[in-house]
Chain A
Amino acid sequence: MATFLGINLFALSGQLLIGLINGSFYALLALGLAIIFGLLKIINFSQGALYMLGAFGAYLGLNHLGLSYWWALLLVPLAIAAIGILMERTLIRPIANEDHLYSLLLTFGIALILQGLFTHWFGSSGLPYAIPEELKGGTKLPFMYLPNYRAWIIVFSLVVCAGTWYLIEKTKLGAYLRAGTENPQLMQAFGINVPLIVTLTYGFGVGLAGVAGVLAAPVYSVSPEMGSNILIVVFAIVVIGGMGSIGGAILTGLAMGVVEGLTKYFYPEASNTVIFLVMVLVILTRPAGLFGKPA
């Protein structure tokens, strides 16, 4: 086997690929957070809970409505977005002009409520959800066995991420959105319905969490705790990437997946902590994040 400095290169390539797969997950979740923060200045701590809701949506859809995985992937994010819009209109709107701290606490409270209710309704052991028939099996690569579903995760999330980035940064709609959130009065004067834009943006960001939830259902245990475990990591990714930088969130998500993957190989105990080490270093050296513009 090929080795370099005593490290098995085959094993290492496997770990890198897995890191990239996890990274694409992080990218999807971080993207949603970054959109909501970057455009709306809301720190959405309920993103993890909504991700959990997405996974439960897929489970409930399958078992109660007979929705296949593919329908769930289309409909559940819309449902999550609708819930998000409702939340934005009723709870977040009234404190839109207050300090960031309040939106953080409010959404944290919402996350606690959702997690508590789902634990009560569905228990804490998790629920089974099978990989869709079309994506079962896998491909034998020279250095590892790649399950088809994991390949699907990486392709699908990258397409969604790239599409979102293009939509916000390169299209006219995206330009309205950015302008509308940067200078609401002016855009209002141009006849653009800014509150509507805000609501839709929030719905879109939250919908991304729903997408990630449905994607996660077949590979991770569908359980009420799944969101709180991942939230704080994703949050760190957004900060490292530069709060509000859409492209930064995507790239950092992928990079952190790889960093975490390598840590799992060399020092597994620290795999949950390494991201925070990176975060300290980044904030100290580049306060606005790797891709953010200094304020």
Chain B
Amino acid sequence: MNKKLTIALLGVALVAPLAIYPVFLMKILCFALFACAFNLLLGFAGLLSFGHAVFLGTGGYITGHLMLNYSVTPEIGIIAGVICAGLIGFVYGKLAVRREGIYFAMITLALAQLAFFFYLQAPFTGGEDGLQGVPRGNLFGVIDLEDNMTMYYFVLAIFSAGFWLIHRCVHSPFGQILKAIRENEPRAISLGYKVEQYKLLAFVLSASLAGLAGSTKALVFQLASLTDVHWFMSGEVVLMTLLGGMGTIWGPVIGATTVVGMQNMLASGPLANYIHVVMGVVFVICVLAFRNGIVGELQKLVKKNF
């Protein structure tokens, strides 16, 4: 990764809340982290999970529940959310990695539907109402997160940590093996790699990071709801990743920013009546015109011309 670019972007992120509404920025960061976690699986391990919303939602529900009922500190709430998402990721991953291609996608979708049913029926999630009024609490018991600015820097720190972790993974030997499996699985097996174990590890990692995004999101919006476990959310993260460019480090971030920004603009603009239509058009154009995503196409352009 280009060091100068990273430092410049971090600088921008540090001053951004002075110009832009911080809650909106936090939303982008949460979804960007979610999309990056998803991309770790799709872009680098070649596994399309169609039920990733479960991990986002699980993180949110666990954190929300703990913050509401046991008044734990936010870092404990988040860690618990991440662990639960990781555990469910382990069970789901164990079942799913035995299948490939479209069947992998379908089994993750089906498992996600079962989880959705559980969260709909379980009393602790508040059903359709969700968990409302989740307190942000005091970080480490001392730093009050009620203030949007403080919260923003906390979220930025979480995002950076998650992003760094993904970056490290991708460039580690582990990441190289994942790519090898993606490119040619039989060859990886013949080289003696236990392919299923690597896939499972990637799945758990991705699920935990998605849980981290969900836990953080629940704190930002002080709400955990069924939206985050619905299969539409699983579809949305595919769109974000694809739009930004799957298999690129920055693609999911750009994709999430574009999608969240677009939804924000559409919700109150003159096109509010056409929100589904516009999203649909973006899907179609994205698939027809630039399948490599924004970052992917840019990289191609750079390669061609310089």
- Chain A positions within 8 Å of B, measured between CB atoms, are 43, 91, 94-95, 98, 100-102, 105-106, 108-117, 119-120, 232, 236, 239, 243, 269-270, 272-273, 276-277, 279-280, 283-284, 287
Q: A100 contacts which chain B residues (CB < 8 A)?
A: 101-102
**B276–A236 touching, CB < 8 Å:** no
Which residues from chain A contact B161 at a C-beta distance below 8 Å?
none
- From A98, A119, A270, B276 is in contact (CB under 8 Å) with A119
- Could you say which of B16-24, B63-71, B80-88, B278-286 contacts chain A? B278-286
CB distance from B50 to the nearest CB of A (A): 9
Contact for A269 among B98, B99, B121, B276, CB less than 8 A: B121
Contact for A106 among B101, B103, B275, B284, CB less than 8 A: B284
**Known contacts A102-B291, A105-B242, A283 near B284 by CB under 8 Å:** no
B residues contacting A by CB (< 8 A) are 48, 95, 98-99, 101-103, 106-107, 109-111, 113-114, 116-117, 121, 231, 235, 238-239, 242, 273-284, 286-288, 291
Task: Identify the closest chain A residue to B243 (Cβ).
Answer: A105
Whether A113 and B277, one on each chain, are in contact in the complex, defined by CB atoms closer than 8 angstroms, is: yes
Residues B48 and A101 in contact, CB atoms below 8 Å apart: yes
A284 to chain B, nearest CB (A): 6
Given contacts A109-B282, A110-B284, 10 further A-B contacts (CB under 8 A): A106-B284, A106-B287, A111-B280, A116-B277, A116-B278, A236-B110, A243-B102, A276-B109, A280-B110, A287-B99
Whether the pair B113, A273 counts as a contact (CB closer than 8 A) is yes
A95 adjacent to B114 (CB under 8 Å): no
Query: Nearest Cβ distance between residue B122 and chain A, in whole angstroms?
Result: 12
Q: Contacts A113-B281, A115-B276, A283-B103: A95 and B231 contacting too (C-beta < 8 A)?
A: no
Tell me, in angstroms, the Cα distance from A115 to B275 when the chains sit together.
11
Most central of B113, B239, B280 by chain A CB within 10 Å: B280
Residues of A contacting B109 with CB < 8 Å?
A: 232, 276
Does the CB pair B277–A102 fall under 8 Å?
A: no
Report B-chain residues with C-beta under 8 Å of the C-beta of A236: 106, 110
Q: Which residues of B contact A112 (CB under 8 A)?
A: 276-277, 279-280, 283
Q: When A and B form their complex, which 4 residue pairs have the shortest distance between CB atoms, in order from nearest?
A: A109-B283, A112-B280, A116-B276, A113-B280
Q: Indicate which residue in B110, B231, B281 contacts A283 across the interface (CB closer than 8 Å).
A: B110
Q: What is the predominant secondary structure among interface residues of chain A facing chain B?
A: helix
The answer to whether A108 and B235 touch (CB under 8 A), given A91-B284, A113-B277, A284-B98, is: yes
Chain A positions within 8 Å of B242 at CB level: 105
Q: Is there an interface contact between A280 and B277, defined as CB atoms closer than 8 Å?
A: no
A111 CA to B284 CA in the complex, in Å?
Answer: 10
What would be 25 A-B contacts, judged by CB atoms less than 8 Å apart? A102-B291, A105-B238, A105-B239, A105-B283, A105-B286, A106-B287, A108-B235, A109-B284, A110-B284, A111-B280, A113-B277, A116-B274, A116-B278, A117-B277, A232-B231, A236-B110, A239-B106, A273-B113, A273-B114, A273-B117, A276-B110, A276-B111, A280-B114, A283-B103, A287-B103
Task: State the Cβ distance, B35 to closest chain A Cβ, in Å.
Answer: 15
CB-CB nearest in chain B for A112: B280
Q: B235 contacts which chain A residues (CB < 8 A)?
A: 108
- Most central of A269, A270, A272, A280 by chain B CB within 10 Å: A280
Do A280 and B287 form a contact, CB below 8 Å, given A101-B48, A112-B280, A120-B274? Answer: no
CB neighbours (8 Å) of A114 from chain B are: 280
Complex CA distance for A283 and B280, rounded to whole angstroms:
30
Q: Which of A43, A108, A120, A280 contacts B107 (CB 8 A)?
A: A280
CA distance A104 to B274 in the complex (A): 22
